[in-house]
Structure 1
């Protein structure tokens, strides 16, 4: 009889685990509390346009994500995106291509002094960190002080401009994080990956990739049960029992908990030490605001970032113009997704939709005057689980995770175990599947 595995959570980690298990011959049941799989990798429709409210692009260093897409027959969904972005400085948008050293050197986004310091100090420093890998920072950040924030390191080594224009813009936009609250080695790993970076979009929206993986699991005999809230997992010597909202139960041979750390601690029946370790995972809730426009947004950028020392940046860290990401997402008009500054993100996540618009739209008007008059519809997307924060000391916290304390028939998966990216989630899911398959063997 096939090894019967429950996967709780159908975000990137759960989907990766589910596919690896199904491909190895296991019988997989995915339980997802939302109506559709994907988690933060989800796509919605707004007045005929496809909205990616969370994750926008996949980096070229997402090697396991690309391999997973190939295995499920979804490589054709991934398309190269131009990577044209802009940084707000001096009251206007300065174009640049992240990952292109030549573009950043030529752009007016960065002061000349910072460019010289990057060329003379930071690029050589990153080149010397040849083993540093953003997909495995806990193991590869050898000899770097994880207790120091990138704000402390950056101001000392490269100056305030580095912290405010580069570190803040990157961390706040992609990870809802602050330089003062981010491990310096983790940022260095991100920066090293960005030296030679290309970015890819997903045809039809990032949710199409999640849907393709779920369909591939189903084609191997797996099931997706959604929406279904799992309230308790009990692992025993002869199997695991899941209790659902409403009191029903199901039995399986093993389980992958691919849910946020706090949820895993709440429902997983784990020992006190493991729950204590999970309590050391910090997240920052957020929400985004999608604006449907009657015409394309002004400018030629896909993403426009706002430093926090500029007027828009007090409330808004970035805006993405989805009509410029890949053809077909926005058949006509325009579509913007607004990301709040990390300092206010938790408050935004709790506001009523009208209050979110009242808070963020005036900030956008400071950069794009008159944009409010072009809005035909708006929608708020909430991410209460938030982004995992790789705070100073978190890499050492990762090294202290003791997988041996988990029940034999249970595995954890989530980006908090690897790196706060889609790739980190995928890698954690693959590792969770490998753990259970070793047990089954």
Structure 2
């Protein structure tokens, strides 16, 4: 069904943006650009008929399938242990998954994850990676790690756009009543208490990564209901606070508080602090976002070990290893590997089509994994966008839009001039509870639709931005983020999915942690690599 322009904007971004877009409507030239994703088309080949199998299989000690953060973390761990015969194969032409990045003549920019919260604890594989990056400057008197000043987000960090003006921070204090502010203070006190909570074994109730959290029923029972229901039960009804919590859930989980378990919703606010408020030093970022972390992981893998544009379509575990069948994405040429150990670093919805035993008898728990779609767009401008109110920040959020707004790629450059060209990275989680319907909506829109949507969203806050726009590129992520729906974080499905098949096939991905975060992907990648080391008979101290 054909939608009018206003109906299209309302369907994707909400009625407030649609009304604003129509008020500002005037003829303009479309911004040149393109849809730049292709995994949608290539990856869907797994759903078709049988793909060709090679006559001969290449022997290899370890095959890592997938060069996202989890797969690269596995290869990183294996390289550190001295395992030489490792091959990493990746469907895309660029590794990194949703942490990948791009670059043009103006700046590097992210295509997904754009920051890493500074860790609180000087331990674990993420801290090891940050030390390799020379991002860690030391440890303070209380034992907290400290980080290079140039990598911490520069001021101003955040601002929010509401009814024609920009305001500092994410919580909309302008016009807030005394009751609103009292409720915010009470909410923050509750989150601080959750951040301080420990069980009898000394484990944090809510920890990073989630695998280190307490499994005591006192806390895990929160997983049964939604965050929205928890807020209501606790008497948190301020629309401004509810917006803030919804924003947090959309930002990290791709859906609203109505679709996120209360455990996961509280984790967002409690896990990265020690109970005394926000103890974390802040956020670490680069112009390319977490693409910088991907580059560091890649640098640890010996040259020639990573093969791109390879679609793995079958992994069959057997005695002494796995047979892995693939085709080259460009030519269709069949490939095969005989691997002693395999790390399958892809999401469960892909694994369901790839793991041979699961094609014959699909485990029931696969149905518990839900994934939300996202759209990320990079808009190159000839000059910094003009706006009214609080000045341009790193993170610029639209209060009345379903998008998350945008980050400024050049904000973390050594010198960010107040004028001059820049790249704005715009984020839209399709947050409706019916993820399949949201995915169909994302894929049904073409470049012209997305150009109109991005510019409608941007023009509401920056009326002159159309004249500054030079190019727009749009990436559609059909299954961008696993959703921690009620009952999932501490239910049986997620734990069943973490189990290896025999001693030869091991799994790694952020979805095993229930949250699409760098720390989860890194942790499960390292864990899979350590299972590989055991399978190879290699003794090595754990990094976990």
TM-score (norm 2): 0.71
Instruction: Describe the SS at the equivalent of 1:279.
Output: helix
Deviation at residue 349 of structure 1 after TM alignment = 4.5
Instruction: Describe the SS at the equivalent of 1:250.
Output: strand
Question: Whole-Å Cα distance in 1 between the matches of residues 232 and 112 of structure 2?
Answer: 30
Match of 1:101 in 2: none
Match of 1:235 in 2: 317
Q: Are residue 92 (structure 1) and residue 165 (structure 2) matched?
A: yes
Deviations 1:154-189 (A, max 9, x none): 233211425532111122234322111011111111
Question: Whole-Å Cα distance in 2 between the matches of residues 403 and 387 of structure 1?
Answer: 17
Shift in alpha-carbon separation, 1:171–1:329, aligned structure 2, 3 A: farther
Count of residue correspondences = 426
Question: Whole-Å Cα distance in 2 between the matches of residues 107 and 162 of structure 1?
Answer: 9
One of 114, 121, 128 as aligned partner of 1:67: 128
Q: Are residue 196 (structure 1) and residue 291 (structure 2) matched?
A: no
One of 370, 375, 378 as aligned partner of 1:282: 370
One of 391, 394, 410 as aligned partner of 2:505: 410
Q: Are residue 305 (structure 1) and residue 392 (structure 2) matched?
A: no
Whether the 8 Å CA contact 2:110–2:288 is kept in 1: the answer is no
Deviation at residue 353 of structure 1 after TM alignment = 1.6
One of 73, 87, 102 as aligned partner of 1:29: 87
Q: Are residue 186 (structure 1) and residue 186 (structure 2) matched?
A: no
When structure 1 is superposed on structure 2, of 285-294 and 341-350 the one drifting more is: 341-350
Structure 2 unaligned segments of length 5 or more: list them.
1-58, 137-147, 199-203, 328-332, 433-437, 538-544
Instruction: Describe the SS at the equivalent of 1:188.
Output: helix
Question: Whole-Å Cα distance in 2 between the matches of residues 361 and 403 of structure 1?
Answer: 42
Shift in alpha-carbon separation, 1:238–1:341, aligned structure 2, 3 A: closer
Deviation at residue 82 of structure 1 after TM alignment = 2.5
Match of 2:37 in 1: none
Shift in alpha-carbon separation, 1:341–1:437, aligned structure 2, 3 A: closer
Question: Whole-Å Cα distance in 2 between the matches of residues 247 and 304 of structure 1?
Answer: 46
Deviation at residue 73 of structure 1 after TM alignment = 6.8
Deviations 1:403-437 (A, max 9, x none): 45623201110111113201110001011111222
Match of 2:97 in 1: 39
Match of 2:214 in 1: 140
Shift in alpha-carbon separation, 1:353–1:196, aligned structure 2, 3 A: farther
Whether the 8 Å CA contact 1:235–1:241 is kept in 2: the answer is yes
Whether the 8 Å CA contact 2:114–2:288 is kept in 1: the answer is no
Shift in alpha-carbon separation, 1:335–1:437, aligned structure 2, 3 A: same
CA RMSD of aligned residues (A): 3.0
Whether the 8 Å CA contact 1:137–1:186 is kept in 2: the answer is no
1:162-181 to 2 correspondences below 5 Å: 164-181=242-259
Deviation at residue 113 of structure 1 after TM alignment = 2.6
Question: Whole-Å Cα distance in 2 between the matches of residues 133 and 305 of structure 1?
Answer: 27
Instruction: Describe the SS at the equivalent of 1:196.
Output: coil
One of 496, 519, 523 as aligned partner of 1:427: 523
Match of 2:26 in 1: none
Q: Are residue 391 (structure 1) and residue 454 (structure 2) matched?
A: no
Question: Whole-Å Cα distance in 1 between the matches of residues 456 and 348 of structure 2?
Answer: 35
Whether the 8 Å CA contact 2:288–2:409 is kept in 1: the answer is no
Question: Whole-Å Cα distance in 2 between the matches of residues 251 and 77 of structure 1?
Answer: 47
Deviations 1:236-271 (A, max 9, x none): 111111111233211111100101111111102244
Question: Whole-Å Cα distance in 1 between the matches of residues 257 and 241 of structure 2?
Answer: 7
Whether the 8 Å CA contact 1:204–1:328 is kept in 2: the answer is no
Shift in alpha-carbon separation, 1:73–1:139, aligned structure 2, 3 A: closer
Deviation at residue 210 of structure 1 after TM alignment = 1.3
Whether the 8 Å CA contact 2:109–2:287 is kept in 1: the answer is no
Deviation at residue 90 of structure 1 after TM alignment = 4.7
Instruction: Describe the SS at the equivalent of 2:295.
Output: helix
Whether the 8 Å CA contact 2:287–2:412 is kept in 1: the answer is no
Deviations 1:77-97 (A, max 9, x none): 98111361112335422212x
Question: Whole-Å Cα distance in 2 between the matches of residues 125 and 49 of structure 1?
Answer: 37
Match of 2:237 in 1: 159
TM-score (norm 1): 0.87
Structure 1 unaligned segments of length 5 or more: list them.
99-103
Whether the 8 Å CA contact 1:50–1:329 is kept in 2: the answer is no
One of 146, 150, 166 as aligned partner of 2:227: 150
Shift in alpha-carbon separation, 1:120–1:164, aligned structure 2, 3 A: closer
Instruction: Describe the SS at the equivalent of 1:229.
Output: strand
Match of 2:342 in 1: 255
Whether the 8 Å CA contact 2:324–2:338 is kept in 1: the answer is yes
Whether the 8 Å CA contact 1:289–1:337 is kept in 2: the answer is yes
